[in-house]
Structure 1
Amino acid sequence: MDEQTIEAYSAGASRFAAEWRDQPPPTDMYALLQRYFTPGGKTADIGCGAGRDVAWLNDHGFPAIGYDAAEGLLAQARTGFPSMVFRRAALPALDAVGRETYDNVLCETVIMHLPPDEVTQACVRLFEILSPMGTLYLSWRVAESVSTRDAAGRLYAGFDAARVRESLGDTEFLLDAEAVNLSSGRRVHRLVARRR
Protein backbone atom coordinates (compact mmCIF):
# COMPACT_ATOMS: atom_id res chain seq x y z
CA MET A 1 0.00 0.00 0.00
CA ASP A 2 0.98 3.60 -0.45
CA GLU A 3 2.32 4.78 2.93
CA GLN A 4 0.95 8.31 2.59
CA THR A 5 -2.52 6.86 2.00
CA ILE A 6 -2.26 4.61 5.05
CA GLU A 7 -1.18 7.59 7.16
CA ALA A 8 -4.09 9.67 5.84
CA TYR A 9 -6.59 6.95 6.76
CA SER A 10 -5.09 6.48 10.22
CA ALA A 11 -4.90 10.20 11.00
CA GLY A 12 -8.45 10.85 9.80
CA ALA A 13 -9.93 7.53 10.93
CA SER A 14 -12.80 8.94 13.00
CA ARG A 15 -13.77 11.36 10.19
CA PHE A 16 -13.65 8.64 7.52
CA ALA A 17 -15.61 6.22 9.75
CA ALA A 18 -18.32 8.86 10.27
CA GLU A 19 -18.41 9.62 6.54
CA TRP A 20 -18.91 5.97 5.63
CA ARG A 21 -21.49 5.49 8.41
CA ASP A 22 -23.50 8.47 7.15
CA GLN A 23 -23.46 7.36 3.50
CA PRO A 24 -26.37 5.35 2.15
CA PRO A 25 -25.64 1.62 2.50
CA PRO A 26 -24.03 0.03 -0.57
CA THR A 27 -27.12 -2.02 -1.38
CA ASP A 28 -25.95 -2.57 -4.96
CA MET A 29 -22.74 -4.21 -3.75
CA TYR A 30 -24.58 -6.21 -1.09
CA ALA A 31 -26.95 -7.59 -3.73
CA LEU A 32 -23.95 -8.79 -5.76
CA LEU A 33 -22.38 -10.42 -2.70
CA GLN A 34 -25.62 -12.25 -1.95
CA ARG A 35 -25.80 -13.37 -5.57
CA TYR A 36 -22.22 -14.60 -5.97
CA PHE A 37 -20.69 -15.38 -2.56
CA THR A 38 -20.98 -18.87 -1.07
CA PRO A 39 -23.39 -18.79 1.90
CA GLY A 40 -21.68 -19.93 5.08
CA GLY A 41 -18.30 -19.73 3.36
CA LYS A 42 -15.25 -18.45 5.19
CA THR A 43 -14.94 -14.81 4.14
CA ALA A 44 -12.26 -12.08 4.21
CA ASP A 45 -12.77 -8.35 3.73
CA ILE A 46 -9.45 -6.97 2.51
CA GLY A 47 -9.35 -3.24 3.22
CA CYS A 48 -12.23 -3.41 5.70
CA GLY A 49 -11.93 0.20 6.87
CA ALA A 50 -14.17 0.87 9.89
CA GLY A 51 -15.83 -2.55 9.65
CA ARG A 52 -19.26 -1.74 8.19
CA ASP A 53 -19.09 -4.44 5.51
CA VAL A 54 -17.61 -7.04 7.87
CA ALA A 55 -20.65 -6.51 10.10
CA TRP A 56 -23.00 -6.86 7.13
CA LEU A 57 -21.26 -10.03 5.95
CA ASN A 58 -21.47 -11.66 9.38
CA ASP A 59 -25.13 -10.64 9.75
CA HIS A 60 -26.01 -12.15 6.35
CA GLY A 61 -24.47 -15.61 6.62
CA PHE A 62 -20.91 -14.97 5.45
CA PRO A 63 -18.65 -15.48 8.50
CA ALA A 64 -16.04 -12.79 7.94
CA ILE A 65 -12.79 -11.40 9.27
CA GLY A 66 -11.60 -7.90 8.38
CA TYR A 67 -8.10 -6.86 7.34
CA ASP A 68 -6.85 -3.31 6.91
CA ALA A 69 -3.50 -1.53 6.64
CA ALA A 70 -4.47 1.52 8.74
CA GLU A 71 -4.28 1.08 12.51
CA GLY A 72 -6.62 4.03 13.04
CA LEU A 73 -9.35 2.40 10.96
CA LEU A 74 -8.85 -0.92 12.73
CA ALA A 75 -9.34 0.87 16.06
CA GLN A 76 -12.63 2.30 14.74
CA ALA A 77 -13.70 -1.17 13.56
CA ARG A 78 -12.86 -2.83 16.89
CA THR A 79 -14.73 -0.14 18.82
CA GLY A 80 -17.78 -0.25 16.57
CA PHE A 81 -17.95 -4.05 16.26
CA PRO A 82 -16.23 -5.53 19.33
CA SER A 83 -17.47 -9.08 18.74
CA MET A 84 -15.81 -9.30 15.32
CA VAL A 85 -12.22 -10.04 14.31
CA PHE A 86 -10.02 -7.40 12.68
CA ARG A 87 -6.32 -7.73 11.85
CA ARG A 88 -3.67 -5.55 10.28
CA ALA A 89 -2.58 -6.59 6.78
CA ALA A 90 -1.53 -4.56 3.77
CA LEU A 91 -1.64 -5.33 0.09
CA PRO A 92 0.21 -6.52 -1.87
CA ALA A 93 1.82 -8.94 0.62
CA LEU A 94 -1.03 -9.56 3.11
CA ASP A 95 1.54 -11.05 5.50
CA ALA A 96 -0.99 -11.49 8.33
CA VAL A 97 -3.14 -13.70 6.10
CA GLY A 98 -0.28 -16.14 5.64
CA ARG A 99 -1.41 -19.34 3.94
CA GLU A 100 -5.06 -18.95 4.93
CA THR A 101 -7.57 -19.33 2.12
CA TYR A 102 -11.14 -18.10 1.90
CA ASP A 103 -14.29 -19.13 0.06
CA ASN A 104 -15.25 -15.47 -0.39
CA VAL A 105 -12.94 -12.46 -0.64
CA LEU A 106 -14.21 -8.88 -0.72
CA CYS A 107 -11.81 -6.13 -1.76
CA GLU A 108 -13.94 -3.00 -2.25
CA THR A 109 -12.24 0.16 -3.58
CA VAL A 110 -8.77 -0.62 -2.23
CA ILE A 111 -6.38 -1.44 -5.09
CA MET A 112 -6.51 2.10 -6.50
CA HIS A 113 -4.58 3.14 -3.35
CA LEU A 114 -1.61 1.04 -4.44
CA PRO A 115 1.27 2.40 -6.50
CA PRO A 116 0.48 1.33 -10.08
CA ASP A 117 3.46 -1.05 -10.19
CA GLU A 118 2.00 -3.01 -7.21
CA VAL A 119 -1.50 -3.53 -8.61
CA THR A 120 -0.65 -6.74 -10.48
CA GLN A 121 1.17 -8.22 -7.47
CA ALA A 122 -1.80 -7.38 -5.23
CA CYS A 123 -4.26 -9.09 -7.58
CA VAL A 124 -2.08 -12.19 -7.76
CA ARG A 125 -2.08 -12.30 -3.95
CA LEU A 126 -5.87 -11.91 -3.78
CA PHE A 127 -6.15 -14.87 -6.17
CA GLU A 128 -3.77 -16.91 -3.97
CA ILE A 129 -5.97 -16.55 -0.88
CA LEU A 130 -9.03 -17.90 -2.71
CA SER A 131 -10.02 -21.49 -2.03
CA PRO A 132 -10.71 -23.70 -5.06
CA MET A 133 -14.04 -22.47 -6.47
CA GLY A 134 -13.71 -19.43 -4.21
CA THR A 135 -15.18 -16.09 -5.28
CA LEU A 136 -13.48 -12.70 -5.36
CA TYR A 137 -15.41 -9.44 -5.48
CA LEU A 138 -12.90 -6.76 -6.49
CA SER A 139 -13.63 -3.13 -7.24
CA TRP A 140 -11.72 0.10 -7.65
CA ARG A 141 -12.56 3.72 -8.30
CA VAL A 142 -12.17 4.52 -11.98
CA ALA A 143 -9.42 7.10 -12.39
CA GLU A 144 -7.80 8.87 -15.27
CA SER A 145 -4.70 7.22 -16.71
CA VAL A 146 -2.54 9.49 -14.55
CA SER A 147 -2.34 8.81 -10.81
CA THR A 148 -3.48 11.64 -8.51
CA ARG A 149 -3.86 12.42 -4.80
CA ASP A 150 -6.90 13.93 -3.11
CA ALA A 151 -6.87 16.72 -0.52
CA ALA A 152 -6.27 14.19 2.29
CA GLY A 153 -3.21 12.83 0.47
CA ARG A 154 -4.75 9.52 -0.59
CA LEU A 155 -3.36 8.04 -3.80
CA TYR A 156 -5.76 7.24 -6.64
CA ALA A 157 -3.76 5.20 -9.13
CA GLY A 158 -4.54 5.12 -12.80
CA PHE A 159 -4.22 1.67 -14.40
CA ASP A 160 -5.79 -0.43 -17.13
CA ALA A 161 -8.44 -2.98 -16.10
CA ALA A 162 -6.75 -5.49 -18.41
CA ARG A 163 -3.82 -5.67 -15.97
CA VAL A 164 -6.22 -6.77 -13.25
CA ARG A 165 -7.96 -9.40 -15.38
CA GLU A 166 -4.65 -10.88 -16.59
CA SER A 167 -3.30 -11.22 -13.04
CA LEU A 168 -6.21 -13.25 -11.66
CA GLY A 169 -5.02 -16.65 -12.86
CA ASP A 170 -7.46 -19.38 -13.84
CA THR A 171 -10.74 -17.68 -13.06
CA GLU A 172 -14.20 -17.47 -14.52
CA PHE A 173 -15.39 -13.87 -14.66
CA LEU A 174 -18.96 -13.67 -13.47
CA LEU A 175 -19.16 -9.88 -13.63
CA ASP A 176 -16.96 -7.25 -15.28
CA ALA A 177 -18.58 -3.83 -15.44
CA GLU A 178 -18.38 -0.18 -14.52
CA ALA A 179 -21.14 1.39 -12.43
CA VAL A 180 -21.84 4.28 -10.10
CA ASN A 181 -21.57 3.05 -6.50
CA LEU A 182 -24.89 3.83 -4.80
CA SER A 183 -23.16 4.50 -1.47
CA SER A 184 -20.32 6.83 -2.47
CA GLY A 185 -21.74 8.15 -5.74
CA ARG A 186 -18.35 7.43 -7.40
CA ARG A 187 -17.76 5.52 -10.62
CA VAL A 188 -16.22 2.12 -9.91
CA HIS A 189 -15.09 -0.90 -11.90
CA ARG A 190 -16.40 -4.18 -10.47
CA LEU A 191 -15.10 -7.68 -11.10
CA VAL A 192 -16.50 -10.88 -9.68
CA ALA A 193 -14.20 -13.81 -10.39
CA ARG A 194 -14.50 -17.47 -9.40
CA ARG A 195 -11.36 -19.53 -9.06
CA ARG A 196 -11.50 -22.71 -11.11
Structure 2
Amino acid sequence: MDEQTIETYSANAGRFAAEWRDQPPPADMYALLQRYFTPGGTTADIGCGAGRDVAWLNEHGFPAVGYDAAEGLLAQARADFPSLIFERAELPALDGIASNVYDNVLCETVVMHLPPDQVTQACARLFDMLKPKGTLYLSWRVAASGSSRDAAGRLYAAFDAAKAREGLRDAEYLLDAESVNESSGKRVHRLIVRRR
Protein backbone atom coordinates (compact mmCIF):
# COMPACT_ATOMS: atom_id res chain seq x y z
CA MET A 1 0.00 0.00 0.00
CA ASP A 2 1.00 3.60 -0.41
CA GLU A 3 2.48 4.63 2.97
CA GLN A 4 1.26 8.24 2.83
CA THR A 5 -2.29 7.01 2.26
CA ILE A 6 -2.07 4.63 5.24
CA GLU A 7 -0.72 7.43 7.45
CA THR A 8 -3.50 9.77 6.32
CA TYR A 9 -6.19 7.23 7.17
CA SER A 10 -4.61 6.44 10.55
CA ALA A 11 -4.14 10.06 11.59
CA ASN A 12 -7.66 11.09 10.57
CA ALA A 13 -9.60 7.91 11.33
CA GLY A 14 -12.39 9.62 13.26
CA ARG A 15 -13.02 12.14 10.49
CA PHE A 16 -13.09 9.47 7.77
CA ALA A 17 -15.37 7.24 9.86
CA ALA A 18 -17.82 10.13 10.31
CA GLU A 19 -17.67 10.93 6.60
CA TRP A 20 -18.48 7.31 5.65
CA ARG A 21 -21.30 7.16 8.25
CA ASP A 22 -22.83 10.32 6.78
CA GLN A 23 -22.83 8.98 3.21
CA PRO A 24 -25.89 7.16 1.92
CA PRO A 25 -25.49 3.40 2.44
CA PRO A 26 -23.98 1.60 -0.58
CA ALA A 27 -27.25 -0.14 -1.43
CA ASP A 28 -26.03 -1.02 -4.93
CA MET A 29 -23.00 -2.86 -3.54
CA TYR A 30 -25.05 -4.59 -0.85
CA ALA A 31 -27.50 -5.85 -3.48
CA LEU A 32 -24.61 -7.34 -5.46
CA LEU A 33 -23.17 -9.00 -2.35
CA GLN A 34 -26.56 -10.54 -1.54
CA ARG A 35 -26.84 -11.78 -5.12
CA TYR A 36 -23.36 -13.26 -5.52
CA PHE A 37 -21.85 -14.04 -2.10
CA THR A 38 -22.39 -17.46 -0.50
CA PRO A 39 -24.89 -17.07 2.37
CA GLY A 40 -23.36 -18.16 5.66
CA GLY A 41 -19.93 -18.35 4.03
CA THR A 42 -16.78 -17.18 5.78
CA THR A 43 -16.12 -13.63 4.58
CA ALA A 44 -13.20 -11.20 4.60
CA ASP A 45 -13.42 -7.43 4.04
CA ILE A 46 -10.00 -6.28 2.85
CA GLY A 47 -9.55 -2.56 3.45
CA CYS A 48 -12.45 -2.52 5.90
CA GLY A 49 -11.86 1.05 7.07
CA ALA A 50 -13.97 1.89 10.12
CA GLY A 51 -15.97 -1.34 9.87
CA ARG A 52 -19.31 -0.22 8.39
CA ASP A 53 -19.43 -2.99 5.78
CA VAL A 54 -18.11 -5.66 8.18
CA ALA A 55 -21.07 -4.84 10.42
CA TRP A 56 -23.49 -5.05 7.48
CA LEU A 57 -22.03 -8.38 6.35
CA ASN A 58 -22.38 -9.91 9.81
CA GLU A 59 -25.94 -8.59 10.16
CA HIS A 60 -26.93 -10.10 6.81
CA GLY A 61 -25.67 -13.64 7.17
CA PHE A 62 -22.08 -13.34 5.96
CA PRO A 63 -19.86 -13.96 9.03
CA ALA A 64 -17.04 -11.50 8.36
CA VAL A 65 -13.62 -10.43 9.59
CA GLY A 66 -12.30 -6.97 8.69
CA TYR A 67 -8.70 -6.31 7.65
CA ASP A 68 -7.04 -2.95 7.16
CA ALA A 69 -3.52 -1.50 6.94
CA ALA A 70 -4.30 1.67 8.96
CA GLU A 71 -4.02 1.17 12.72
CA GLY A 72 -6.14 4.28 13.36
CA LEU A 73 -9.03 2.90 11.31
CA LEU A 74 -8.76 -0.48 13.04
CA ALA A 75 -8.94 1.24 16.43
CA GLN A 76 -12.04 3.15 15.28
CA ALA A 77 -13.66 -0.05 13.95
CA ARG A 78 -12.98 -1.90 17.21
CA ALA A 79 -14.45 0.98 19.22
CA ASP A 80 -17.56 1.26 17.04
CA PHE A 81 -18.14 -2.50 16.67
CA PRO A 82 -16.58 -4.18 19.73
CA SER A 83 -18.21 -7.57 19.10
CA LEU A 84 -16.64 -7.92 15.63
CA ILE A 85 -13.14 -9.01 14.61
CA PHE A 86 -10.68 -6.61 12.99
CA GLU A 87 -7.07 -7.44 12.13
CA ARG A 88 -4.16 -5.68 10.46
CA ALA A 89 -3.15 -6.79 6.96
CA GLU A 90 -1.68 -4.81 4.09
CA LEU A 91 -2.03 -5.29 0.35
CA PRO A 92 -0.50 -6.57 -1.81
CA ALA A 93 0.97 -9.38 0.35
CA LEU A 94 -1.72 -9.66 3.06
CA ASP A 95 0.76 -11.40 5.35
CA GLY A 96 -0.88 -13.52 8.01
CA ILE A 97 -3.93 -14.48 5.91
CA ALA A 98 -3.90 -18.06 4.68
CA SER A 99 -4.74 -19.19 1.16
CA ASN A 100 -8.02 -20.98 0.28
CA VAL A 101 -9.86 -19.99 3.48
CA TYR A 102 -12.74 -17.67 2.53
CA ASP A 103 -16.01 -18.26 0.72
CA ASN A 104 -16.41 -14.52 0.09
CA VAL A 105 -13.87 -11.70 -0.19
CA LEU A 106 -14.86 -8.03 -0.40
CA CYS A 107 -12.33 -5.38 -1.46
CA GLU A 108 -14.29 -2.16 -2.01
CA THR A 109 -12.41 0.87 -3.40
CA VAL A 110 -9.00 -0.04 -1.99
CA VAL A 111 -6.67 -1.13 -4.81
CA MET A 112 -6.53 2.39 -6.28
CA HIS A 113 -4.47 3.29 -3.17
CA LEU A 114 -1.72 0.96 -4.41
CA PRO A 115 1.07 1.96 -6.77
CA PRO A 116 -0.12 0.75 -10.21
CA ASP A 117 2.68 -1.82 -10.46
CA GLN A 118 1.26 -3.64 -7.40
CA VAL A 119 -2.33 -3.98 -8.64
CA THR A 120 -1.90 -7.31 -10.46
CA GLN A 121 -0.11 -8.89 -7.47
CA ALA A 122 -2.79 -7.59 -5.08
CA CYS A 123 -5.63 -8.99 -7.19
CA ALA A 124 -3.91 -12.38 -7.44
CA ARG A 125 -3.50 -12.43 -3.65
CA LEU A 126 -7.17 -11.55 -3.07
CA PHE A 127 -8.17 -14.36 -5.43
CA ASP A 128 -5.76 -16.73 -3.64
CA MET A 129 -7.69 -16.24 -0.39
CA LEU A 130 -10.78 -17.89 -1.88
CA LYS A 131 -11.86 -21.47 -1.41
CA PRO A 132 -12.90 -23.31 -4.59
CA LYS A 133 -16.23 -21.80 -5.75
CA GLY A 134 -15.51 -18.74 -3.59
CA THR A 135 -16.46 -15.25 -4.78
CA LEU A 136 -14.43 -12.03 -4.89
CA TYR A 137 -16.07 -8.59 -5.15
CA LEU A 138 -13.40 -6.08 -6.18
CA SER A 139 -13.87 -2.41 -7.01
CA TRP A 140 -11.78 0.70 -7.43
CA ARG A 141 -12.38 4.35 -8.14
CA VAL A 142 -11.78 5.15 -11.81
CA ALA A 143 -9.28 7.99 -12.20
CA ALA A 144 -10.50 10.76 -14.51
CA SER A 145 -6.96 11.42 -15.71
CA GLY A 146 -3.61 10.22 -14.35
CA SER A 147 -2.65 9.13 -10.86
CA SER A 148 -3.05 11.89 -8.27
CA ARG A 149 -3.40 12.64 -4.57
CA ASP A 150 -6.45 14.25 -3.03
CA ALA A 151 -6.30 17.18 -0.61
CA ALA A 152 -5.82 14.78 2.32
CA GLY A 153 -2.83 13.13 0.64
CA ARG A 154 -4.44 9.84 -0.40
CA LEU A 155 -3.13 8.25 -3.59
CA TYR A 156 -5.68 7.58 -6.33
CA ALA A 157 -3.80 5.53 -8.90
CA ALA A 158 -4.80 5.39 -12.54
CA PHE A 159 -4.50 1.93 -14.09
CA ASP A 160 -6.16 -0.08 -16.83
CA ALA A 161 -8.61 -2.76 -15.71
CA ALA A 162 -6.42 -5.27 -17.56
CA LYS A 163 -3.96 -5.02 -14.64
CA ALA A 164 -6.65 -6.31 -12.29
CA ARG A 165 -7.83 -8.99 -14.71
CA GLU A 166 -4.26 -10.25 -15.12
CA GLY A 167 -4.27 -11.24 -11.46
CA LEU A 168 -7.57 -13.12 -11.92
CA ARG A 169 -6.58 -15.33 -14.84
CA ASP A 170 -8.45 -18.50 -13.92
CA ALA A 171 -11.57 -16.76 -12.63
CA GLU A 172 -15.14 -17.12 -13.80
CA TYR A 173 -16.40 -13.58 -14.40
CA LEU A 174 -19.83 -12.76 -13.00
CA LEU A 175 -19.66 -8.96 -13.42
CA ASP A 176 -17.18 -6.60 -15.09
CA ALA A 177 -18.59 -3.08 -15.37
CA GLU A 178 -18.20 0.59 -14.54
CA SER A 179 -20.93 2.50 -12.72
CA VAL A 180 -21.47 5.35 -10.28
CA ASN A 181 -21.22 4.23 -6.65
CA GLU A 182 -24.51 5.12 -4.91
CA SER A 183 -22.75 5.85 -1.62
CA SER A 184 -19.84 8.07 -2.70
CA GLY A 185 -21.21 9.34 -6.01
CA LYS A 186 -17.87 8.45 -7.63
CA ARG A 187 -17.32 6.36 -10.76
CA VAL A 188 -16.06 2.87 -9.92
CA HIS A 189 -15.08 -0.25 -11.80
CA ARG A 190 -16.50 -3.46 -10.33
CA LEU A 191 -15.32 -7.00 -10.89
CA ILE A 192 -17.12 -9.96 -9.36
CA VAL A 193 -15.39 -13.26 -10.01
CA ARG A 194 -15.69 -16.84 -8.81
CA ARG A 195 -12.92 -19.34 -8.26
CA ARG A 196 -13.48 -22.48 -10.32
- Number of the residue aligned with 2:42: 42
- Number of the residue aligned with 1:168: 168
Alignment of 1:114-153 (within 5 A): 114-144=114-144, 146-153=146-153
CA displacement at 1:169 relative to structure 2: 2.6
Instruction: Determine if contact 1:87/1:96 at 8 Å carries over to the other structure.
Output: no
Q: Distance in 1 between matches of 2:16 and 2:38?
A: 30
Q: 1:100 to 1:72 in 2, by over 3 A?
A: farther
Alignment of 1:3-42 (within 5 A): 3-42=3-42
Q: Distance in 2 between matches of 1:132 and 1:72?
A: 34
- Number of the residue aligned with 2:56: 56
Q: Distance in 2 between matches of 1:96 and 1:17?
A: 25
- Number of the residue aligned with 1:192: 192
- Counterpart of 1:95 in 2: which secondary structure? coil
Q: Distance in 1 between matches of 2:97 and 2:168?
A: 18
Instruction: Determine if contact 1:127/1:169 at 8 Å carries over to the other structure.
Output: no
CA displacement at 1:117 relative to structure 2: 0.7
- Number of the residue aligned with 1:94: 94
Offset from partner CA, 1:141-183 (integer Å, 9 cap, x none): 0014521000110000010001111211311110011110010
* Number of positions where the alignment pairs a residue of Structure 1 with one of Structure 2: 196
Amino acid at match of 1:131: K
Q: Distance in 2 between matches of 1:62 and 1:97?
A: 18
| Runs of 4+ displaced beyond 2 Å | none
Q: Distance in 2 between matches of 1:169 and 1:79?
A: 39
* Unaligned segments of structure 2, at least 5 residues: none
CA displacement at 1:98 relative to structure 2: 3.2
Q: Distance in 2 between matches of 1:99 and 1:39?
A: 20
Instruction: Determine if contact 2:120/2:165 at 8 Å carries over to the other structure.
Output: no
Instruction: Determine if contact 2:104/2:130 at 8 Å carries over to the other structure.
Output: yes
Q: Distance in 1 between matches of 2:169 and 2:81?
A: 34
Q: Identity over aligned residues, as a percent?
A: 79
Offset from partner CA, 1:89-146 (integer Å, 9 cap, x none): 0000100213462000000000000001111110110011011010000000001452
Q: Distance in 2 between matches of 1:105 and 1:184?
A: 21
Amino acid at match of 2:185: G
* Unaligned segments of structure 1, at least 5 residues: none
